Amino acid sequence: MQAGVKKLFVKSYGCQMNAYDAARMADVLAPEGYAETGVIEDADLIVLNTCHIREKAADKVFSELGKVRMLKEAREAAGLTTTIAVAGCVAQAEGAEILRKQRAVDLVVGPQSYHRLPEMLRQAALGPVIDTDFPVEDKFDHLAQPSEEKIRQRGVTAFLTVQEGCDKFCAFCVVPYTRGAETSRPAGKILAEAERLARAGVREITLLGQNVNGYHGEGEGGKDWSLADLLTRLSKVEGLARQRYMTSHPNDMSEDLIRAHAELPSLMPFLHLPVQSGSDRILDAMNRRHTAADYVRLVERIRRARPDIALSSDFIVGFPGETEADFVATLELAREITFGSTFFFKYSSRPGTPGADLEDQVAEEIKSERLGRLQEVVETQRRSFNSALVGRTIDVLFEKKGRYPGQIAGKSPYLQPVQVDGPETLIGQIAPVEIVECSSNSLFGRLAESFSQAQPTREAN
């Protein structure tokens, strides 16, 4: 091993924001001499970037830590030291408890403190260290920027956190406790980060926030910008051809944001808009602060603005007190809206959330049974959404080599993976593809004959 170069392995669980954070942790550690490796056995520093959203996700961390401990011991026997860090939302929620449960852990760092990793690593050499503060300084001001080469390695699509934390306190959700209060980054800093990404070849950015459409950051001239203002400005960044944002709350789908969907060609016609339940009684108990009819009306407005938009959603089944009639209302809402794709979860009681104290917890078998019925409805919708694209020509942003030699893979405007036969020179470009076949998760197509590589990319504006 080259003197001075240490190896870093980061494993990320949970949402896209955790994936973004994982990259930023690698960025902050690069000037400290850490280079990323994909081989965990080689790592001098292992970071588990954890998720606390459901019990299963949180439990997974401890089984993973058991394996990592054995690795640490095996390396120790070979005369190598390994530092083990737990980051992310379990770190925030459980803090010092992690050090008690698993002694092999050297360092626990919450999602708002990872800019302090270099200093924490120095302290960890002397004994276990923990930082789960919500510091007053903005971590983004203290993070090293990735090199252009690093951005290129990460590919032509990128995440960019614009807003973090949540003040909505849905009764089931740990996020307000693990990520803290809602904050929006200043638009100028987001713009600088987006321009840097674009200069290094990034063509698509997904703006991230726990409640991203509630974005209200400082804009030009000191006045607050909405997410629509930000998207409009970012649509002018040279090279950025596609924009997405997630995750949105229905109550923050403002008029200007809906209009942005009509006006910005770079804003992809695909919106993740979780509804959680179709029963007003349950929506109220969840503290979602809107009704099922509000959601239906909102979707109508969005579809009027952008008729080709597809929607996806999150659903929770078996929230405390959910009756068969409540669940049927959820099925009805799903049927009425028709989603392009959907995520569905069994309610998981989380310590410290109001939902955990509610009586009438729903039995596990009933949750499983309802999940199966919802799955049938939404999976049928997904399959028909995918198969409706067969025979149509859609723009695909090519991201990487495909599964087989001679193939390249990219994404449709609706985030479906698409495989085609084509040259690697198309990676980073958007090309029209005629869809010829679909499986449950992917589309297969051929490059449209009209497309020649010399053409400028169509979506770029």
Chain-centre distance for alpha carbon 170: 19
Between residue 272 and residue 311, which ones bind ligand SAH under the rule CB under 6 A?
274, 276
Q: Where are the alpha helices (DSSP H) in 342-408?
A: 364-387
* Cα distances (Å, whole numbers) of residue 210 to 174, 184, 357: 11, 11, 24
Binding of ligand SAH at residue 398 (CB under 6 A)? no
- We find the least distance from the C-beta atom of residue 172 to ligand SF4, in angstroms, to be 7
Nearest residue (CB) to ligand SF4, 151 versus 166:
166
Binding of ligand SF4 at residue 169 (CB under 6 A)? yes
Nearest residue (CB) to ligand F3S, 65 versus 333:
65
Q: CA-CA distance, 329 to 429, in Å (whole number)?
A: 43
Contact partner, 51, from ligand F3S, ligand SAH, ligand SF4, none, Cβ < 5-8 Å per class = ligand F3S
Contact partner, 176, from ligand SF4, ligand SAH, ligand F3S, none, Cβ < 5-8 Å per class = ligand SF4
Nearest residue (CB) to ligand SF4, 14 versus 219:
14
Q: What is the CA radius of gyration of the chain?
A: 23
> Which two structure tokens, joined as six digits, stand for 90?
């379990």
Between residue 330 and residue 369, which ones bind ligand SAH under the rule CB under 6 A?
345, 347-348, 350
Binding mask 244-273 for ligand SF4 (x = CB under 6 A): -----x------------------------
Binding of ligand SAH at residue 314 (CB under 6 A)? yes
Binding of ligand SF4 at residue 211 (CB under 6 A)? yes
Which of 15-23, 173-181, 201-209, 398-406 is the region at the interface with ligand SF4 (rule: CB under 6 A)? 173-181
Nearest residue (CB) to ligand SAH, 43 versus 207:
207
How many of the other CB atoms lie within 10 Å of CB of 26?
Answer: 20
Applying CB under 6 A, among 173, 208, 433, 438 the residue interacting with ligand SF4 is: 173
Binding of ligand SF4 at residue 350 (CB under 6 A)? no
Q: CA-CA distance, 237 to 216, in Å (whole number)?
A: 20
Longest dimension (CA), the chain: 66
Helical packing angle, 364-387 and 324-337, nearest 10°? 10
* Cα distances (Å, whole numbers) of residue 439 to 66, 235, 238, 344, 381: 37, 32, 35, 20, 14
Applying CB under 6 A, among 176, 219, 250, 428 the residue interacting with ligand SF4 is: 176
Q: Give the amino acid at 333.
A: L
Contact partner, 43, from ligand F3S, ligand SF4, ligand SAH, none, Cβ < 5-8 Å per class = none
Binding of ligand SAH at residue 20 (CB under 6 A)? no
Binding of ligand SAH at residue 226 (CB under 6 A)? no
Q: Which of 186, 190, 194, 193 is nearest to 218 (CA)?
A: 186
Nearest residue (CB) to ligand SAH, 53 versus 374:
53
Helical packing angle, 292-305 and 324-337, nearest 10°? 10
Binding of ligand SAH at residue 172 (CB under 6 A)? yes
What is residue 357's three-state secondary structure?
helix
Q: Give the amino acid at 325.
A: A
Q: What is the DSSP letter of 267?
A: B
Applying CB under 6 A, among 168, 303, 335, 458 the residue interacting with ligand SF4 is: 168
Nearest residue (CB) to ligand SF4, 176 versus 219:
176
Q: CA-CA distance, 194 to 205, in Å (whole number)?
A: 8
Nearest residue (CB) to ligand SAH, 46 versus 246:
246
Nearest residue (CB) to ligand SAH, 156 versus 227:
227
Contact partner, 60, from ligand F3S, ligand SF4, ligand SAH, none, Cβ < 5-8 Å per class = none
Element (H, E) at 343: strand 341-346
Does the CA dihedral 291-295-296-298 come out positive or negative? positive
How many of the other CB atoms lie within 10 Å of CB of 109?
Answer: 26
Q: List contacts with ligand F3S (CB under 6 A).
A: 14-15, 17-18, 51-53, 88-89, 174-175, 178-179
* Cα distances (Å, whole numbers) of residue 377 to 10, 300, 342, 343, 387: 37, 21, 10, 12, 16
Applying CB under 6 A, among 83, 178, 210, 232 the residue interacting with ligand SF4 is: 210
Contact partner, 327, from ligand SF4, ligand SAH, ligand F3S, none, Cβ < 5-8 Å per class = none
Q: Which of 56, 53, 87 is nearest to 175 (CA)?
A: 53
- We find the least distance from the C-beta atom of residue 174 to ligand F3S, in angstroms, to be 6
Nearest residue (CB) to ligand F3S, 210 versus 386:
210
Q: CA-CA distance, 58 to 60, in Å (whole number)?
A: 5
How many of the other CB atoms lie within 10 Å of CB of 215?
Answer: 27
Q: Which of 207, 125, 98 is nearest to 158 (CA)?
A: 207
Site residues (vs ligand SAH, CB under 6 A): 53-54, 172-173, 175, 210-211, 247, 249, 274, 276, 314, 316, 345, 347-348, 350
Site residues (vs ligand SF4, CB under 6 A): 166, 168-170, 173, 175-176, 210-211, 249
